[in-house]
């Protein structure tokens, strides 16, 4: 039983100065791989199997205990949306925001561990694909660089900016002036990593595999160890610092579902390749959605609610 009456956070300090790293799991309650990986790492730190040399390492095994207890994605609402401090508390997740936001601000790098329902290949999500751009003056390392240490072969960038453009288009399309509904609110897309970036902190989301795949725990554990070794918080147990050179797919467009009778022309899977001009979906009125560039279908959701994200297009980062 996970007790939702409090939030547990474990902080370990190396004896020498260094970076402050935050690793979080179970922002979504039905995604246990982050929790299991974090508990393994806590045990390894306590037993001395992993030695923390420098800096500060904070681990939060379960961010949303209410959702984790129910084994559902959300408690009262999706913790990975509207992620900023709240004055009026209207949900369990609002209370969590007021604990987790200051915790994130106390660190320089955030790694948020997730898993997915459909698909095979683990991947990382970063804000911006620029390898050379340090996110802040403290950690001097770009999110693209961090993602290249995590052991995944695919990195997706520019979700936030694509989502924001999508919300603006949505408001224009539906002639909405005020964001009285969450679908039209630019801040609705803010999750843990968006809040971190707005606070000057480098943040990467790692999607470690399917929810119940035991390999997702290995992916998560390996990523955390590689991250800590590359940042010199620990000595890598295998004594190698591997860089994986993942492909970076930049999101360029989001398409909303507009009617229950809109449909995909194929059973799209995440990362399916498409060439420019290929018809991928059809609206109720007969108009077709065409791929805007040579690239990929990302996060296809045939069950999307009306007015919400149906699929994204991505291209290779130039």
The whole-angstrom separation of Cα 255 and Cα 281 is 10
Looking at 26, 56, 114, 211, which residue binds Zn ion (CB under 5 A)?
A: 114
The whole-angstrom separation of Cα 218 and Cα 256 is 35
Q: Report CA-CA distances (Å) from 48 to 17, 52, 53, 72, 169.
A: 19, 9, 11, 34, 53
Q: Could you tell me if residue 150 is left (phi over 0), alpha (psi between -120 and 50 degrees) or otherwise beta?
A: alpha
Q: Which helix (H) or strand (E) element contains residue 124?
A: strand 123-126
Binding-site size, Zn ion (CB under 5 A): 3
Tokens read off for 171 = 């408001």
The whole-angstrom separation of Cα 257 and Cα 302 is 9
Nearer residue to Zn ion within complex by CB, 21 or 63: 63
- Listed in sequence order, the DSSP H helices in the chain are 33-47, 65-70, 92-105, 143-147, 159-173, 192-198, 215-230
**In the window 19-38, what residues touch Zn ion (CB under 5 A)?**
28, 31
Nearer residue to Zn ion within complex by CB, 100 or 234: 100
CB of 55 to Zn ion, least distance (A): 27
The whole-angstrom separation of Cα 123 and Cα 2 is 28
Nearer residue to Zn ion within complex by CB, 28 or 253: 28
CB of 159 to Zn ion, least distance (A): 13
Tokens read off for 5 = 């009456």
Nearer residue to Zn ion within complex by CB, 29 or 246: 29
CB of 57 to Zn ion, least distance (A): 22
Q: Applying CB under 5 A, does 170 fall inside the site for Zn ion?
A: no
Nearer residue to Zn ion within complex by CB, 31 or 190: 31
The whole-angstrom separation of Cα 12 and Cα 37 is 16
- Listed in sequence order, the DSSP H helices in 158-281 are 159-173, 192-198, 215-230
Nearer residue to Zn ion within complex by CB, 28 or 230: 28
Nearer residue to Zn ion within complex by CB, 211 or 230: 211
Convert residues 71-110 into a mask of x (bound to Zn ion by CB under 5 A) and - (unbound): ----------------------------------------
Q: What phi, psi does 252 have (nearest 5°)? A: -125, -20
Contact residues toward Zn ion (CB under 5 A) are: 28, 31, 114
């Amino acid at each position: 039983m996970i007790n939702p009456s409090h939030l547990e956070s474990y902080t370990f300090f190396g004896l020498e100065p260094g970076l402050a790293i935050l690793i979080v799991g179970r922002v979504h309650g039905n995604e246990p791989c982050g929790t299991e990986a974090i508990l393994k790492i806590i045990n390894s730190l306590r037993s001395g199997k992993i030695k923390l040399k420098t800096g500060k390492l904070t681990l939060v095994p379960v961010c949303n205990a209410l959702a984790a207890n129910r084994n559902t994605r959300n408690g009262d609402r999706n913790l990975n949306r509207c992620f900023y401090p709240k004055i009026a508390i209207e949900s369990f997740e609002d209370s969590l925001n007021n604990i987790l936001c200051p915790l994130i601000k106390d660190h320089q790098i955030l790694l948020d561990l997730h898993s997915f329902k459909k698909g095979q290949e683990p991947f990382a999500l970063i804000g911006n694909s620029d390898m050379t751009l340090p996110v802040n003056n403290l950690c001097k390392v770009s999110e693209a660089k961090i993602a290249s240490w995590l052991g995944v072969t695919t990195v997706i960038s520019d979700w936030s900016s694509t989502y924001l453009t999508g919300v603006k288009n949505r408001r224009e399309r539906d002639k909405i002036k005020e964001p009285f509904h969450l679908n039209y609110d630019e801040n609705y897309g803010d999750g843990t990593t968006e809040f971190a970036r707005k606070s000057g902190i480098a943040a990467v989301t790692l999607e470690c595999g399917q929810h119940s795949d035991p390999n997702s725990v290995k992916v998560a554990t390996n990523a955390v160890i590689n991250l800590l070794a590359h940042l010199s918080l620990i000595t890598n147990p295998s004594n190698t610092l591997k860089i994986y050179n993942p492909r970076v797919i930049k999101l360029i467009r989001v398409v909303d579902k507009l009617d229950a009778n809109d449909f995909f022309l194929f059973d799209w899977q995440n990362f399916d390749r498409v060439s420019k001009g290929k018809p991928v979906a059809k609206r109720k009125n007969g108009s077709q959605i065409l791929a805007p560039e040579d690239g990929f279908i990302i996060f296809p959701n045939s069950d999307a609610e009306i007015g919400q994200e149906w699929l994204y297009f991505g291209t290779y980062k130039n």
